[in-house]
Structure 1
Amino acid sequence: MATNVAVPRLSDSTPAGAERRGEGRGAPDRRARPPAFAAIDLGTNNCRMLIGVPSGGGFHVLDSFSRVVRLGEGLYRTGMLSDAAMDRAIEALSICADRQRRWQVSATRAIATEACRQAENGHAFIARARTETGLPIETISPREEICLAMESCASLITQAERRALLFDIGGGSTEIAWVRVPAAHGGSDRVTPQLIGYHTIPVGVVTLSERCAGWCETEAGFAGVVDEVKALLRPFEETHRISQEIRMGGVRLVGTSGTVTTIAGIALNLDRYRRGAIDGTVLPHDVVAAGLESIRAMGRARLTEHPCIGADRVDFVLPGCAIFAAIEEMWPAADLAVADRGLREGMLMRLIRNARSRPRRCQA
């Protein structure tokens, strides 16, 4: 049976489906609430934002936004961000900028990831985005990216007995973190997981969907992609001997990506995607394997119609499943902790922690 752990969740102040539609409620009087913070993540495929206020040991979400912008569209072929893709991203970032001004946030962190790291014109695009939106957007390193994911998933990582293998299957790259759980953690999410090592591979769902379009729909093509990804992961395995650690026990896989949450939704037979039923769920290996096989057996038409997938994500599902299958074959842990959270949540938690650590000025 799946086990739920206590984790921060999207609050009721965000209407159902609002993040997908890009909607939000009007901002109340700032004097009636704690200071708000904004976190914006511009990825290879999506632009996402969370605005939240401190609440207990976490945060309460005031507003959220997500839009498919396909910033990395064509990047694999040309090495450049296209004009159309940059325009879509700027439009989405402008909405984020308007929303964070409306909420009168105290601090904003805005980041870009693999598409801007890879593109020859990535720096020029970031400069343009800063000028046109006023956002302090910056391109972060793979290490910073995995550290933010670790921060948001700390409560899941510390549920492991000894070690955790955290992975994030993105649009343009996949990040892996090998993490030590302090011995005297007692299941507490207040203990800081310790990064042993990290690895990034330039393979994500967008790059695979463009480079291997249709391959993953066949048995031979899917197996070929899995083998290619495993070859990219093998140096990390040879360095850290993770498979040996898994055989010793006490190691948990922790996955944070749309691929992982989709597999979980299918494995749990959800009639529609519900974050509360997915985030923090721990699935046994056989349940995960059954979900993966169900997705592969559906065919494109059924994948498009499935409420946990949809037409805007159907191109990326099987490439993502191939990356996941490579990770799972390389490191076959007993179970998988599923995280519907990532860089935005990690940024918000850091912003809030930094604000709390600053000395307060005396009032005149």
Structure 2
Amino acid sequence: MLRTSSPILAPIREKVEAGERLTAEDGLVLESPEAPLPEVGELANLVRERKNGNAGYYNINTHLNATNICVYRCTFCAFRSDLRDPKGYWMNDEQVLARGAEAVENGCTEMHIVGGLHHQAKYDWYRKVISLLNDNYPTLHLKAWTPVEIDWFARLTKKPIRWVLEDMKEAGLGSLPGGGAEIFHPEIRHQICEHKADASRWFETHREAHSLGLRSNCTMLYGHIEQPYHRIDHLIRLRELQDETGGLQTYIPLSYHPENNRLGIERKIEKPSGLMDLRQMAIGRLMLDNIDHIKAYWIMLGIETAQISLSYGADDIDGTVRHELIYHDAGATTPEVMSVADIERVIRETGREPIERDTLYRRVERDAESWRAGEKIVAAV
């Protein structure tokens, strides 16, 4: 029996204990400052332990942002660059292969590939990034391209999204990350990323990917100009997609970083507090009853908040995250890589059991020189 006692949470507590689905109205109650955060966290922890026990998952991964030159000018982005900007870059084949070699040498099981939409880059270059890595480092799972990028590739090739996904899968694409979601509601999306792929294209991409057997993640960028209604609307839409396809593996709430980008500077937005981070983590766990895993992305949250998140609904802390650039450009002060020993220590300090998993949530088994994916980790319903 839970210890929560706030009257405002009593109906939600009854639903959570009974394993019943929460409504949008319940979500808005959870968003209210009148709903005590420790009690919201306690409810989320009940669901988290019901699904994933005492596990604290992590993986050994690296990021590849092959170019930061981008045709879009999203107001929240500090990573993008113009073609003639001194900070702009565009990797060649040798640089991409070097990054793959480094990943394999450091025991990585996954490469997370996203970046800018370079207006001079042809579709074949983006495809070659995948085929080069897959042909030369086949043990690496390539988690690549947000729906914003897939939508851009469809425009470049004048082909349907499904064709692009099929072609990328043939080249070696293993799964899709969850980025590009930001906030789905048009009231907010039109203000922060007006010209890039809208919510309908985001959902079409994930729906088509799932129909092709590709799994994907999902995200929400919070703490800027959105309101609680927009966040709950976002989560309900994700839940409906999962009801339809079952292809979403993990939800990652992303805390907005206001430094070095136009949105933060012009609106004078402050970074979300640790309390807001924990509330959004917990609400995600409570609302997304059909998504197995909730990730506390330590790069954005900071290590300490990520640790606490493991008792506020999260069961995954991401991984070593070698070479992450996007959030560090936006002001993240976390390390640019964390060792396996440190990740396991961080998880153990919370009382959780560290478990290495691959991208598809299979337990990783290692010996001195190699690794293999074991049985798939199955969360409880």
TM-score (norm 2): 0.29
Q: Point out the structure with the larger strand share.
A: 1
TM-score (norm 1): 0.30
Considering Cα pairs closer than 8 Å and 6+ residues apart, tell me whether 1 or 2 has the greater RCO. 2
